[in-house]
Structure 1
Amino acid sequence: MREEYEIYEQSLPWILEAGEIIKKRIQEHTEIKRKSSHSDVVTEVDREIESFLVSKISEHFPEHNIVGEENVGNRVSSSPYLWIIDPIDGTSNFINRKKDFAISVAFCERDRGIFGIIYDVMAGKLYRAHTGSGAFLNDVELNAAGTDGSLENELMAINAPWGSMEEMKRWEHFFKLGTQVRGVRNYGATTMELSDLATGVLGGYVQYYVNSWDYAAGRVILEELGYKFSDLNGDAIDRVYCGGILAASESLHQQIVQSLKESSKEIK
């Protein structure tokens, strides 16, 4: 629909402007608060960016639903449209590394992804896709997912929890998967890993638990390129699903699901 594409075009400058705010604030002292644990934190900049984006959406589309990580302006309405926002995915990277974090915004109609935008602020990389119109990194169109491939030739992002030995034992099938691929890369931000999947740097993404705002924009981009998203069993997920997820090309997706299932049986 033309109206939906216009919303996509309208939102791009908002995200670039939000990035400029982050660039100005990143060297300043910022208040850091714990959420669920010492490794799950939020800064005043996270809240400032989410508030900025929510204000833009509310000004132009007051009837739309909003789900944001920091719950600055979350709302539920009768509209079929939903914005899913992560103001800074990779907050610990933002605090400690001053890079490798991104703004993530997805726009959906019920369970239909319309567009997704990921902005790697410090690298100046804008990943974006409007369904049916192609996926881009800045102004360069990205290539579609390959139709073949083997696990042993791929780098993958495989994220298992760090905890007690007993807890980690539950995820031994993840570590077995890691022995079947060429190598494992973890960046501490779902958006960074999904962006590398979109450019072909990584062959797959496996995560034991993730929230919808972490992957929603990346999912739209990757599905536009022909990648498959699912839960860890290979089953379909909706746009606000939270839990374990898997993203890869069709061929690699099947291989990963099979590996996880076989390893789980062996462990049991």
Structure 2
Amino acid sequence: MNYELLCNKVIAIARLTGNFIRKESLSFDDAKIEYKGLNDLVSYVDKTAERQLVKNLKKVLPEAGFITEEDETENTYNQPFTWIIDPLDGTTNFIHGIPTFSISIALYEGSEPVLGVVYEINRGEMFYSYKGAPAYLNNKEIRVSRSSNLSQCLLATGFPYYQFDKQPQYIQLFTEMMQKCHGLRRIGSAAVDLAYVACGRFDAYFEYNLNSYDMAAGAFLVKQAGGQLHNFSGGDEYLQTREIVASNGLVTQEILNTIKKHFN
């Protein structure tokens, strides 16, 4: 498998669908919002974008299965390759006219991630990597930050928006984290948060109640850029446990120790 060639094709596919999403954002009618659940929004833009991505990715790798957010394709598992796709990560931002949303595409070979692309649409920033390569932003190699103490760090996170049973612990965690670092940011797109860790804008990112399509591509970028990935317990099963701590590797233990005080 020529992963570099495949990655170039995926980048072109992401850019094409990104053009569609950007165009729709200029005239989006919020009367077309649908609700999948409490505060869980979707629109025709998400669904159309997903169909476009699936159609074009099938052309470049017909033997691959899919895990997608909107289920606009017959999701297939246990294939030699699996695409994990979020066609519009940051739907709530998109609907409200906040210009931070992205396309997230990861490819797994068996249980191993081998390719990741995150396209931050409005800034035109294409983050990508593939097996055997470093991580890149618009053709320039990127690395995680070198901050070695939380007091030097800018962190990213996400807020619970429908699973509120852990909200009290999370607020306590926010309070402690805010006192230990330069600040906490909540952008509203997990894929972008992870891409920003990969390029050193954020020193670390943590969140729970995520799905695989939220973090698969971005997590791969962090790994390829020299970072570390864990769940809240410090294990490696972040996709399975639906919680992630992504960092530059230098502040991992300090963050995990703080999280463990509030989550056990």
Q: TM-score, normalised by structure 1?
A: 0.89
Displacement of 1:212: 0.8
Q: Distance in 2 between matches of 1:192 and 1:218?
A: 7
1:104-123 matches, cutoff 5 A: 104-123=104-123
The offset of 1:168, in angstroms, is 2.5
Q: Which residue of 1 aligns with 2:143?
A: 143
**Structure 1 stretches of 5 or more lacking a match?**
none
What per-residue deviation string (whole Å, max 9, x for no partner) do you get for residues 223-249 of structure 1? 0011111111110116x4352211102
The corresponding residue for 1:244 is 243
- Following the alignment from structure 1 to structure 2, what is the Cα–Cα distance between the partners of residues 263 and 98? 31
- Contact 1:65–1:74 (CA<8 Å) still a contact in 2? no
Matched, 1:180 2:172: no
- Are 1:212 and 1:242, in contact at CA under 8 Å, matched by a contact in 2? no
Confirm whether residue 126 of structure 1 aligns to residue 126 of structure 2: yes
Name the structure 2 match of 1:227: 227
Relative to structure 1, the CA distance from residue 80 to residue 178 in structure 2 (aligned partners, 3 Å threshold; closer, same or farther) is farther
Q: Is the 1:8–1:130 Cα contact (8 Å) retained in structure 2?
A: yes
Who is 1:72 aligned against?
72
Letter matched to residue 212 of structure 1? S
Task: Quickly say closer, same or farther: Cα 1:118–1:139, change in 2 above 3 A.
Answer: same
What residue number does 1:212 align with? 212
**Counterpart secondary structure, 2:209:** strand
Structure 1 CA distance for aligned equivalents of residues 183 and 22 of structure 2 = 32
Q: What amino acid is aligned across from residue 218 of structure 2 in structure 1?
A: G
Q: Report the Cα offset of residue 145 of structure 1.
A: 4.6
Letter in 2 for 1:183: G
Query: Who is 2:34 aligned against?
Result: 33
**Are 1:57 and 2:69 matched, yes or no?**
no
2:200 equivalent in structure 1: 200
Q: Is the 8 A contact 2:63 2:80 kept in 1?
A: no
Q: 1:54 to 1:175 in 2, by over 3 A?
A: same
Cα deviation digits, residues 91-139 of structure 1 (max 9, x gap):
1111112410001100111221111101111111111111221111102
Q: TM-score, normalised by structure 2?
A: 0.91
My pick for the range that moved more, 255-264 or 115-124, is: 255-264
Residue 201 of structure 1 aligns to a residue whose secondary structure is: coil
Taking the aligned partners of 1:176 and 1:98, their CA distance within structure 2 comes to 28
Number of residue pairs matched? 261
Contact 2:144–2:200 (CA under 8 A) maintained in structure 1: no
Counterpart residue number, 1:14: 13
Give 3-state SS (helix, strand or coil) of 2:103's partner. Answer: strand
Provide the rounded CA distance (Å) in 1 between the counterparts of 2:48 and 2:66. 16
User: Are the counterparts in 2 of residues 209 and 245 from structure 1 also a CA contact under 8 Å?
Assistant: no
Choose 43-52 or 75-84, whichever is displaced more: 75-84
Of stretches 229-238 and 81-90 in structure 1, the one that deviates more from structure 2 is: 229-238
- 1:184 and 1:177 map into 2 onto residues whose CA distance is 8
C-alpha separation between the residues in 2 aligned to 1:89 and 1:236?
23
Q: Deviations over 1:176-216 (max 9, x none)?
A: 23322121111111122112212212111010221111111
Residues 131 and 173 of structure 1: CA distance in aligned 2, closer, same or farther (over 3 Å): same
Q: Give the corresponding residue for 1:83.
A: 83
Deviations 1:45-91 (A, max 9, x none): 10001000111122343321101110111432542211000000001
Give the letter aligned to residue 250 of structure 1: G
Q: Aligned pair in 2 of structure 1 residues 95, 244: CA closer, same or farther (>3 Å)? A: same
Contact 1:145 1:225 in 2 (8 A): no
Instruction: Output the amino acid matched with 2:37.
Output: S
CA distance 1:20–1:179, shift in 2 (3 Å)? same
Q: Structure 2 vs 1, CA of residues 163 and 87 (structure 1 numbering), >3 Å: closer, same or farther? A: closer
Change (3 A) 1:143 1:170: closer
